Structure 1
Amino acid sequence: MTGEDLALPALGARRNLREEIRQTLRAAVISGELRPGVVYSAPSLAAQFGVSATPVREAMLDLATEGLVDTLRNKGFRVTELSGKDLDELSELRALIEVPTVRRIAEAGVAPDVLAELRPLAAEIEAAAGRGDLIAHVTADMEFHLRLLALAGNQHLVETVRSLRARSRIYGLRSLADRGALVPSAHEHAELLDLLAAGDADGAERLMRHHIAHVRTIWAGPPG
């Protein structure tokens, strides 16, 4: 089985094209737009991006190094399948790291100008959810959370969370988006910024724990 008809954006000639393709494909894996059990070829993906096959092949090899896809000799790439237990464990690790870190950031206080820089990302997460653009939604969501966690001043922590988030799968997003039900959880990013602005560490901690729990509740779903 080969994958052909995906909601991938046309990229054209851009700087840092390989990195942009890698980020887009990573988001497609996380959101379930690239599905386990389907073989994807670099040329077919490249045609949808509107680029040559070379940067797509390089980006997919990068994702293989991250453990997100498996390479199939002379065929292409297949998304690495994860069990429910794998996803539970990844979510548990995220909660152990992200929840106390957000609380610590709230307790330390965040400057208004820093929060103002994060608000456009929060708005894009919500807007992408509203228009059903899962790749844009996951990409903005990843950037938001990593930039927020970076305020703790621990780059190793940020890279660990980046890896955990990339290896997660949230297959239920498409169903939620199609029903118009993804926006409420997307709005939690703006709510989190409001709690940080108010210095409400308890509230920020509760919201972050609730937010991560979506990975295995409302965002969860079977691949397909």
Structure 2
Amino acid sequence: MPGSGAVTRNTLRQQIADALRDEVLAGRLPPGTEFTVKQIAEQYEVSATPVREALVDLAAQGLLESVQHRGFRVRIYSVADFVGMIEARTLIVDGIFRRLVERGTAPGAAEMLVSVRRRAEEARRAAHSGSLEVLIGYDLRFWRELSGLVGNTYISEFLHRIRVQTWVFAVPHLQRQPELMREALWNGHRELVEAVTRADPDEVRRLVHAYNQHGLEWAAGL
């Protein structure tokens, strides 16, 4: 079949990128870790081409840096970077909810809210139990689906990228403070989705403000 090789390669490229992103988010590839295309290709037992493409994709997303003549390195974010991410995230999230209040949700929102509610419950349980890796998975899905209610994929994809970056910064710090982890994890997912369901703009704003302040206050104590 013409083109089937390209499809297979692109699928493999995405699988490798997803797997490496998960490793970074789980803290198994901490910031500053360096590796080459050859090392990753051998690890996953694949050719170098889809690996190189996957690493370039992750570098474009801000998770990796290209190191001349040495391969790639997991990016190290500073507290100032994290604060900047929070500020950017605040503007985007505020715009999302303002759009929802002014124009309503995209078609099919009722079905989408059912799924968002499930993500909210799972994220809340993971936060209460201190299950960081589980929380990250549900938290990313929660915000991606919630932002999808506006029906603009550019907005939801941009927000998702920032959220992944904030977790990349946060994970090493949280893992070094296991006794404080539960206090540091935000768990207002369920309250937020219920406020969105009720179309209660004041409560939505209050919850989102508290969410962003939570992140800023945590970063200030690092």
Indicate conservation of the 8 Å contact 1:45/1:56, yes or no. yes
Q: Percent identity?
A: 30
Question: Distance in 2 between the 1:20 and 1:34 partners?
Answer: 17
Question: Distance in 1 between the 2:188 and 2:62 partners?
Answer: 29
1:35 counterpart (18, 21, 30): 30
- CA drift of 1:23 comes to 3.2
Match of 1:92 in 2: 87
1:68 counterpart (63, 67, 77): 63
Indicate conservation of the 8 Å contact 1:119/1:193, yes or no. yes
Indicate conservation of the 8 Å contact 1:99/1:209, yes or no. no
Which deviations, in whole Å up to 9, do the C-alpha atoms of 1:62-98 show, x marking residues without a partner?
2122232123356442122233322222211111121
Indicate conservation of the 8 Å contact 2:112/2:145, yes or no. no
Which deviations, in whole Å up to 9, do the C-alpha atoms of 1:176-211 show, x marking residues without a partner?
6554516861x3111111111222111111211222
- Tell me, yes or no, if structure 1 residue 82 matches structure 2 residue 80: no
Question: Distance in 2 between the 1:213 and 1:182 partners?
Answer: 14
* Aligned partner letter, 2:31: P
Match of 2:212 in 1: 212
Q: Comparing both structures, which one devotes a greater share of its residues to helix?
A: 2
Return closer, same or farther for 1:164/1:197 CA change in 2, 3 Å cut-off. same
Return closer, same or farther for 1:35/1:132 CA change in 2, 3 Å cut-off. same
- Tell me, yes or no, if structure 1 residue 116 matches structure 2 residue 105: no
- In terms of mean alpha carbon deviation, does 192-201 or 74-83 score higher? 74-83
Decide which structure has the larger Cα Rg and report it: 2
* Aligned partner letter, 1:95: T
Question: Distance in 1 between the 2:25 and 2:220 partners?
Answer: 11
Answer 1 or 2: higher relative contact order, Cα 8 Å, separation at least 6. Answer: 1
Normalization by structure 2: what TM-score? 0.71
Normalization by structure 1: what TM-score? 0.70
Question: Distance in 2 between the 1:184 and 1:89 partners?
Answer: 19
Question: Distance in 1 between the 2:40 and 2:217 partners?
Answer: 31
Measured on the aligned residues, the alpha-carbon RMSD in Å equals 3.5
List alignment gaps of at least 5 residues for structure 1: 1-14
Indicate conservation of the 8 Å contact 1:71/1:77, yes or no. yes
Return closer, same or farther for 1:30/1:47 CA change in 2, 3 Å cut-off. same
Match of 1:139 in 2: 137
Question: Distance in 2 between the 1:114 and 1:161 partners?
Answer: 18
Match of 2:99 in 1: 104
